[in-house]
Amino acid sequence: MQIDHPTPMLAGLSPAQFMRQHWQKQPLLVRQAFAGAAPPATLKALAALAARDDVESRLVTAFDGDWQLRHGPIARLPAMAKPGWTLLVQGLDQHLAEARALLDRFRFVPDARLDDLMLSVASDGGGVGPHFDSYDVFLIQLAGRRRWRIAAQQDAVLRDDVPLKIIANFKPEQEFVLDAGDMLYLPPGWAHDGVAVGPGCITGSVGFRASAAQALAAELLPRLFDEGDEAGELYADPQQQAVAAPARVPAALLDFARRAVEAAVQRPEALERALGEALTEPKATVWFEPGEPLPPGQGACLDRRSRMLYDATQVFLNGESFRAGGRDAALMQRLADARALTAAEVAELSAEARELLDQWTEDGWVQPQPS
Ligand code: SIN
Ligand code: CO
């Protein structure tokens, strides 16, 4: 991606400028960011996805001011002519190549932060109510129109009489009506309310993920150890004296535990490996279809569901880590960044790396790239 080139997608800013000036800082409204773009899915396709139990979906209705939330699978949607409902379908990038392609336009942000593409479809007046999100979001109007009202308000009190997180005292400061092709970027913590203007409103949300410190630590700690690892030094207490209070935890055991945890974090590459594996772990709803080894003379591309990252010494794919060096490392990094290798690049892989690539195509993580 040309990170220093101005682009209509970011209102004439380059990705580099956008990140400096807006990312996590200021909203940005972009008229015709995606001029003429067709939604990656029609209402019919979204309804079919929402009916599946391996797709995350929600139906929000506010008929006569009565807010209701239903989690999918959703067998039947209300009629488009009936105002006041919206269907939200998560993870479209896992299911549709067109949705993955739209998400790929945002790869000027590290993949480790990019989460998924959600699509919402709404009848006139449909929306999820004024709320906060704790993540950055690009809201792309893909069909129909939606009125967005936003505010930088501090008052975060929520209503306690509805099944959704709706702000009790929303005080909008700015208002924009988005037409198909327009986009609104919001940093985390901005109050916002999007209401469909007319039927057939389809909005895409490019979502990001941010780890909370404690949750990340809890996820990484068990991953710091390999199955083959030695059990390590055994706790020993030759100085332990007889105790009159047998239930008290010995101070020496607490010290031993602290040293064990510190040593685990400091093992060379263990934390890097744990982080890479955790960040590329597929979501619970993702499954891969097994394939054949890569045919000779073919290029390869990552399956749209695959998550691939790398650091200085390792590559990570779908929750697993692999060590790579020299030319193989450069090619694997290229596969992660470009999400594809040409036939010529595949031919440059060592026999060992080529075997790995075949294994990945058999697992369905990598697909042959039609030339
Ligand atoms: C929507 O598309 O209706 C909701 C998106 C959001 O406000 O986060
Ligand atoms: Co939101």
For residue 125 and ligand 1, the question of a CB distance below 6 A is answered with no
Within 72-180, strands assigned E span 85-89, 114-122, 137-151, 174-178
At CB < 8 A and 24+ separation, what contacts does 169-178 make?
A: 170/130, 172/130, 174/27, 174/149, 174/150, 175/147, 175/148, 175/149, 175/150, 176/29, 176/147, 176/148, 176/150, 177/145, 177/146, 177/147, 177/148, 178/139, 178/141, 178/145, 178/146, 178/147, 178/148, 178/203
133 lines ligand 1 (CB under 6 A): yes
- 126 Cα–ligand 1 center, Å: 10
Segment holding 348, helix H or strand E: helix 343-348
* Spatial separation of the C-alpha atoms in residues 130 and 191, rounded to whole Å: 7
* Pairing, β 191-208 against β 320-323: unpaired
Reported as a pLDDT band with limits 50, 70 and 90, residue 206 is: very high
Reported as a single tens digit per residue, the pLDDT across 2-56 is: 999 999 999 999 999 999 999 999 999 999 999 999 999 999 999 999 999 999 9
d(CA 114, CA 94): 13
Taking alpha carbons only, the member of 300, 303, 319, 322 closest to residue 311 is 322
CB of 137 within 6 A of ligand 1: the answer is yes
pTM, whole model, 2 decimals? Answer: 0.93
**Model confidence at 193, in pLDDT bands (50, 70, 90)?**
very high
Atom of ligand 1 nearest to the CA of 146: 3
CA dist 50 → 76, 89, 323 (Å): 9, 6, 39
Residue nearest to atom 4 of ligand 1 (CA): 128
pLDDT at position 229: 72
List, as one string, the DSSP characters of 34-51. Answer: TTTPPPSS-HHHHHHHHT
For tokens 């073919």, the residue is: 298
Find out whether the beta carbon of 164 lies less than 6 Å from any atom of ligand 1: no
Written as one letter, the residue type at 241 is: Q
Decide: residue 350, CB within 10 A, 0-12 exposed, 13-18 middle, 19+ buried: middle
Average pLDDT along the chain: 95
Ligand 2 centre to CA of 355 (Å) is 44
308 bridge partner residues: 317
CA nearest to 363, candidates 305, 297, 296: 305
> Quick check: 155 pLDDT over 70?
yes
Average of per-residue pLDDT across 246-272: 93
pLDDT per position as a tens digit, 85-95: 999 999 999 99
Q: Looking at ligand 1, which atom is closest to the CA of residue 133?
A: 8
Return d(Cα 52, Cα 75) in angstroms, integer.
8
What domains, with CATH codes, occur in the chain?
Answer: 8-208 (2.60.120.650), 269-371 (3.40.366.30)
Q: What pLDDT score does 269 carry? A: 87
Q: What is the DSSP letter of 307?
A: -
H/E stretch holding 317 reads strand 314-317
Which ligand 1 atom is at minimum distance from the Cα of 86?
3
Please choose from 90, 138, 205 the residue to mutate so as to test ligand 1's pocket, defined by most ligand atoms within 8 A of CB: 205
- Which pLDDT does position 371 carry in this prediction? 66
- Report the candidate in 283, 334, 294, 327 with the shortest Cα–Cα distance to residue 310: 334
Ligand 1 atom with the shortest distance to the CA of 204? 2
Give the residue whose CA is nearest to atom 5 of ligand 1. 205
Question: What pLDDT sits at residue 147?
Answer: 98
pLDDT tens figures, 286-341: 999 999 999 999 999 999 999 999 999 999 999 999 998 999 999 999 999 999 99
Give 287 Cα–ligand 2 centroid separation in angstroms.
Answer: 27
- The percentage of residues in the chain with a pLDDT greater than 90, rounded to a whole number, is 93
The ligand whose atoms approach the alpha carbon of 191 most closely is 2
* Nearest ligand 1 atom to alpha carbon 131: 7
Crossing angle of helices 251-266 and 270-280, rounded to 10°? 70
Q: Is the dihedral of CA 267, 273, 279, 283 positive or negative?
A: negative
Cα separation, 80 vs 66, whole angstroms:
18
CA of 201 to the centre of ligand 1 (A): 11
pLDDT band at 1 (very low <50, low <70, confident <90, very high): confident
Whole-number percent of the chain with pLDDT over 70: 99
Cβ of 204 closer than 6 Å to ligand 1, yes or no, is no
Is the distance from the beta carbon of residue 120 to the nearest atom of ligand 1 less than 6 Å?
yes
Q: What is the pLDDT of residue 48?
A: 97
Q: How far is the CA of 353 from the centre of ligand 1 (A)?
A: 43
Residue from 61, 92, 139, 184 to probe ligand 1 pocket by mutation (most atoms less than 8 Å from CB): 139
State the Cα–Cα distance between residues 328 and 74, nearest whole angstrom: 46
Given a cut of 80, is residue 221 above it in pLDDT?
Answer: yes
Nearest atom, ligand 1, residue 128 CA:
3
Q: Going by DSSP bridges, is the β-strand pair 85-89/366-369 parallel, antiparallel, or unpaired?
A: unpaired
Ligand 1 atom closest to Cα of residue 120: 2
Confidence of residue 230 (pLDDT cuts 50, 70, 90): confident
